[in-house]
């Protein structure tokens, strides 16, 4: 398993997969929403390259996490930025890595505070295994499980980079 990844190739693959999925599902004019931090960085790149006209949404799910006190995640101060209503909108929810599914569950809880979307398409750069919740991405660029001793480290936003690091 390589510890460094060609992010350009992975992003290109992700865009191709996402465009194919949207076409297959007949989804046009979606609203793209990134999950803070690195999910927003990735969403900005996808949003720009795909030419999505509507403003990019951003979610800070810190207070929606069920494991906030135990997760060791840094407290984030960025506010969520979403349209006033998501009612009947097709949402592309973007994150960097899905592992347990808890971040995505928290993001969906927050999205529903803004209305009932027509659909949510979960799009991630890396789909790990070992889910704690039954949440699966519809679109991903890479699916691998390096084991519990490793995490993916995404840095950015400019340049956006990813590496696999061994936990201390």
Cis status of the peptide bond prior to 159, with omega within 30 of 0 = yes
Q: What would the mean pLDDT of 140-162 be, rounded to a whole number? A: 92
CATH classification (class only), 7-69+77-166: alpha beta
Split at pLDDT 50, 70, 90, the class of 84 is: confident
Under the banding of pLDDT at 50, 70 and 90, the label for residue 15 is very high
- The alpha-helical segments, DSSP class H, found in the chain are 7-25, 38-50, 102-113
What pLDDT, on a 0 to 100 scale, did the predictor assign at position 8?
A: 93
If you average pLDDT over every residue of the chain, what do you get? Answer: 90
Model pTM? 0.91
- Domain extents for the chain? 7-69+77-166
Residue 117 pLDDT:
97
Rg (CA), the chain: 15
* pLDDT over threshold 70, residue 76: no
Question: Does pLDDT of 83 surpass 80?
Answer: yes
The pLDDT score that the predictor gives to residue 72 is: 55
């Amino acid at each position: 398993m390589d510890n460094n990844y060609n992010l350009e190739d992975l992003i290109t693959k992700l865009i191709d997969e996402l465009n194919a999925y949207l076409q297959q599902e007949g989804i046009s004019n979606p609203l793209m929403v990134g999950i803070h931090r690195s999910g927003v960085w990735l969403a900005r790149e996808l949003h720009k390259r795909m030419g999505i006209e509507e403003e990019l949404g951003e979610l800070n799910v810190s207070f929606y996490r069920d494991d906030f006190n135990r997760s060791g995640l840094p407290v984030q101060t960025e506010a969520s930025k979403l349209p006033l209503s998501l009612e009947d909108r097709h949402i592309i929810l973007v994150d960097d890595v899905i592992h347990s599914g808890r971040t995505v569950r928290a993001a969906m809880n927050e999205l529903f505070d803004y209305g009932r979307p027509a659909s949510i398409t979960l799009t991630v750069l890396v789909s790990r295994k070992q889910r704690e919740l039954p949440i699966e991405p519809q679109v991903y660029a890479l699916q691998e499980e390096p084991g519990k001793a490793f995490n993916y480290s995404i840095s950015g936003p400019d340049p956006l980079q990813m590496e696999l690091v061994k936990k201390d």
